[in-house]
Structure 1
Amino acid sequence: MTGTPRRFLVTATPPTTNGDLHVGHLSGPYLGADVFSRAQRMLGHTALYASGGDDHQTYVVTTAQRLGVDPVELAARCNREITGTLELADIDIDAFTRPDDVYRDEVREFFAGLYSAGRLVRRTWTFPYCAETDRYLLEAFATGYCPECLVGTCGAICENCGHPNDAGSLLFAESAGAQEGSTTEPRDVEILVLPLEEYREQFTEFYRRRRATMRPHVLRFVDEMLSRPLPDFPVSYPAHWGIPVGIEGFDGQVINVWAEMLPGLRHMAEAARVRRSPRTPAGVWAADSGFELVQFLGYDNTFYFSFAHLGLALAHGGLVEPTAIVTNEFYHLNGSKFSTSRRHLIWARDLVGKYGPDNVRFHLGLSNPEHQPADFTEAGFLETVRTRLHEPLQALATALAPHTGQPVTVRPETEALLDRYRDRMRRAYTLETFSVRQATETTANLLALLAARAAGDPGLAVAGLRVLGAQAAPLVPGLAAVIESRYAAATPGTVPELADLLPVTV
């Protein structure tokens, strides 16, 4: 470890519980947060990794109706499936919770406190109302076109450009699930909002200070939003699915699920603390906790984390603010965006179940959509894993097999070479320069070098593979554990048995 030990509070956006995780989900915040958390612990820091089921999304309702099931049962089933998939993919998450009575009480108390302090204000909001579905057009209940980039989208946020919308700004808004040609009527509803424009100076100063730990696309989005008046963020809206507001005068309204997520993540973080670090005092989300908040999310959720959640934290005044917002771009399947609703996907559990977690994690690391979209094909996956992981490992095992059990000499220049690898991996794992893609690419390059030089320099191959196993453990934890066990079983200074390091071949 170098420098002063740091303490990180790591979150991955709670997944909507209207389906299991597909490969696009896994390639983004869940793998990224896992690699980051494992790497910090390896470097001697503390990391708590938390997430949980996002049960109150309106997409749970629309999916349940399409499938003909009860939304409560759907959410419960999907929570179980998602938890199982994370475990299968070797995602070492400290807490994956789902809403319960304690959670709902904490969320209500959070917003009641903001309301009592005068931080939330009443606004009259005009919603289209659909009599056929008995719903106000919001979130998944509304479809139309984004007023910013003009792409087809649902209500609240545009998945393409990340800009927020509402029933008034969504172009050609229609009621999702209603018959074609159905009509709506405008209705005025008094709701609670957080007036984001009041925090403009604080947003501007925050992003001035944090530019070094925000990804470029986040900063571009922030600049776009700050170039015009910031919208009011609805904290409540008229709907029946979600947590009732519980404040007088707002009957028939629930807390906006994206507002709910901030105190929800605080609840999840406490569960992670209890599991991973029970001696750490409660209140890890407090501003004076000493934890740095690092949040992993898909780019389409940027508005909520960069403005809505930060605005709520500023309004509260006592919460930790994000040190870094680590976004990923879309992961495509055969050239088109992964989509649960269109069934254009590969379920993560199917891919991991067939090929094993290390093979999948290795490929997703190499093709990670950190700064631009990436594309997945099963043929490309097999080619990459075979040529950049399995074949070099097999070449190493074949070249070193005649030396098994024999002592080898490690030259001084070998240690210098391996120090370069350690330094590059440390940079890839450090928050300010974090990159799953760089860490995986550097590891694949060292593996290729070792395989090419093993026959003539077994000392380099033996020393290099052990260092690789240690440094790549956050990426391919299963392979790293096998490598470590083989070296532990061998006489120190001799060549260990290196055949069949990966249990699943491709």
Structure 2
Amino acid sequence: MTAIAAQTFFLMPIPPTPNGRLHLGHIAGPYLRMDMLGRYLRSQGHRVDVVSAVDGFDSYVLWKALQEQRTPEAVVRDYHGQIAHDLRALDVEVDDFLDLVQGPYAQQHARNAQRTVERLVALGVTQSVVERVLYCPDTRRYMAGAWLLGQCPYCRAGAGGYFCEGCGALFRPEAMLDPQPRMGDSPLHWVEVESLFLTVAHPEQLLQRMATSGAPASIVEVIARFLERENGRVRLTAPGEWGVAWSPDRFGNPRVLFESGWEYALTCADRSQEQAPEHGHAMLRSSEVTTLVSFGIDNAVLLLAGSVAVMDALQDHRSFDYVLTNYFYNLQGAKFSTSRLHVVWAADIVEKTPATSDAVRYFLSRESPEHGETNFAVEEFVEVVNVDLAGALDGRIDLALAVLDHTRPQSIDPALWPALELAVTRLGQAFRLDAVSVREAWDVLHQWMQRPDLDVTQPAHAYLWLKGLAYLAAPIMPRLAEYLWQRLGHDGLPLIQALRAASQPRPQTSARPRFAPLSPAALAPCLPASVVLAGATSDA
């Protein structure tokens, strides 16, 4: 096997809004995929820094604070901790997860954002645009972001704020059809506000860069339409007071910076650089660090058009090298919805039921919404766990472990190696940076689990199969992979460099991870009231 030159990677899963916990719809998209990629890269001997934050200045934080009658700072602090717990519960590793509203990096984050926009202004690439926004003088709220509901001006689907989840469009509040205040603000009248925009000098180059970064053609098309509609302008400020402050406009309206991902990239990369100063700042053009960001299609225009445009305009910076995008993940055929409590919270499914983190990750990988909308069907999850994992896999692992020879070092029989080598190659193809597919990675693992040509009651076959299983499962089912790797005589996590190395299997010293059989009733404690199943009830 050819030696792989070690590289350094900076990965940033999209910062979630801390107005609630993470549900399986969140996990199945940007967080699990990025975690699996990070684990795979580490298994190749690369250095990987995963740093993210919470998007604490989103206006939906203010709405949540109003609902819960708390300060927005308290809301951010609380849900920052709960989101971190949800990630840990499903073994989604983040080296640093920052609170940039009030944490130790908050001031640095604000300075990064302000100085960046100041530089853009000095470079002459910005433009002030007068636009109209509905305003309520009694509540002092501008009807934008979380406060505005209506219909998308392009596809006429129901929309809120600046975005349409139906077609992915990003638009100005004044373009919203049938605009309505979410909270019934009254009286309302139109006011003129002055907002700062960045002018994209070469839209065609920006679109080409997105295409080569792994963004699907459908998303690049949405961004192309956005740039055409907006005459190549990307928003930098918005009216309001919650956020990183910018100077008031000439009409006296307060303004904040309109966060679109680039500012989080700067601060998270600052944190990564602190851990490894020798690699330089990941978002600078002079850096040799390879960078990736993951996000859902509802953030595509904002993150791609906004971040690429800003970083390009800065000249000495660069946008992310690669992007992982995903579509929506549904629950029982309907969109996950925090407001309707049509959710399965990430930590609840493993803390309130017999389901294990590895089992959940296995199923979510199988159903990954990387090419289109997919669905978490409870009955199907139960069947997959019971048949694939608690049934076939657990039984086969028992057979293989039982015949291992613990008395001497063992190595893979050269005659058997080609079978594993093909699977290793296919796994590498699934994690190509410009076309990461965790569904393909799942398929490689799934086929290896079943290999009918390997008789695991024979010691040579058992050693090969277990070693391959540990390596191929590492991105998807890390707990099982680590246990098997150490039972085979290795330390730490599976590494490709050690795949062919001899090792002496160890006797069992601790209980191995097992997959408990499931039933709809066993999952009831984590299911919402909106999910009604035969043989299961929910008290949620």
Rounded to whole Å, the distance in 2 between the matches of 1:415 and 1:15 is 43
Pairs within 5 Å for 1:333-482: 333-353=331-351, 354=353, 355-400=355-400, 403-405=403-405, 412-449=414-451, 453-454=454-455, 457-482=458-483
Change beyond 3 A, Cα 1:498–1:386: farther
Number of the residue aligned with 2:512: 501
Change beyond 3 A, Cα 1:378–1:81: same
Change beyond 3 A, Cα 1:457–1:96: same
Query: Does 2:132 correspond to 1:131?
Result: no
Number of the residue aligned with 2:292: 294
Change beyond 3 A, Cα 1:114–1:410: closer
Rounded to whole Å, the distance in 2 between the matches of 1:120 and 1:401 is 64
Number of the residue aligned with 2:109: 103
Rounded to whole Å, the distance in 2 between the matches of 1:95 and 1:398 is 37
Letter in 2 for 1:333: L
Change beyond 3 A, Cα 1:224–1:246: closer
Deviation digits for residues 265-322 of structure 1 (CA, Å, limit 9, x no counterpart): 21112213334xx242442210111123211100111001221111111221111222
Change beyond 3 A, Cα 1:227–1:84: same
Higher normalized helix content (fraction of residues): 1
Q: 1:321 aligns with which of 319, 322, 332?
A: 319
- Residue 75 of structure 1 and its aligned partner are, at CA, apart by 0.7
Rounded to whole Å, the distance in 2 between the matches of 1:195 and 1:186 is 26
Deviation digits for residues 238-267 of structure 1 (CA, Å, limit 9, x no counterpart): 2121111147858643334424x3122211
Q: Which moved further from structure 2: 348-357 or 406-415?
A: 406-415
Alignment RMSD (CA, Å): 2.7
Letter in 2 for 1:23: L
Change beyond 3 A, Cα 1:313–1:342: same
Q: SS state of the match for residue 386, structure 2?
A: helix
Pairs within 5 Å for 1:483-498: 483-488=484-489, 492=503
Q: Please, what TM-score do these two structures have when normalized by structure 1?
A: 0.90
Q: 1:143 aligns with which of 133, 141, 149?
A: 149
Rounded to whole Å, the distance in 1 between the matches of 2:416 and 2:12 is 38
Q: SS state of the match for residue 69, structure 1?
A: coil
Q: 1:113 aligns with which of 96, 116, 119?
A: 119
Q: SS state of the match for residue 40, structure 1?
A: helix
- Residue 230 of structure 1 and its aligned partner are, at CA, apart by 3.6
Rounded to whole Å, the distance in 2 between the matches of 1:125 and 1:227 is 18
- Residue 126 of structure 1 and its aligned partner are, at CA, apart by 1.2
Q: Please, what TM-score do these two structures have when normalized by structure 2?
A: 0.85
- Residue 327 of structure 1 and its aligned partner are, at CA, apart by 0.5
Number of the residue aligned with 2:525: none
Deviation digits for residues 391-441 of structure 1 (CA, Å, limit 9, x no counterpart): 222221443465354789965442111111111111112213321111112
Number of the residue aligned with 2:167: 161
Change beyond 3 A, Cα 1:489–1:165: closer
Rounded to whole Å, the distance in 1 between the matches of 2:198 and 2:469 is 49
Instruction: Verify the 8 A CA contact 2:312 2:318 in the aligned structure 1.
Output: no
Rounded to whole Å, the distance in 1 between the matches of 2:249 and 2:223 is 35
Unaligned runs of 5+ in 1: none
Q: SS state of the match for residue 126, structure 1?
A: strand
Query: Does 2:26 correspond to 1:20?
Result: no
Q: SS state of the match for residue 481, structure 1?
A: helix
Rounded to whole Å, the distance in 1 between the matches of 2:403 and 2:280 is 53
Deviation digits for residues 336-378 of structure 1 (CA, Å, limit 9, x no counterpart): 1111122110110101323232121111111111101111133
- Residue 492 of structure 1 and its aligned partner are, at CA, apart by 4.8
Q: Which moved further from structure 2: 358-367 or 245-254?
A: 245-254
Q: SS state of the match for residue 434, structure 2?
A: helix
Number of the residue aligned with 1:188: 192
Instruction: Verify the 8 A CA contact 2:132 2:190 in the aligned structure 1.
Output: yes
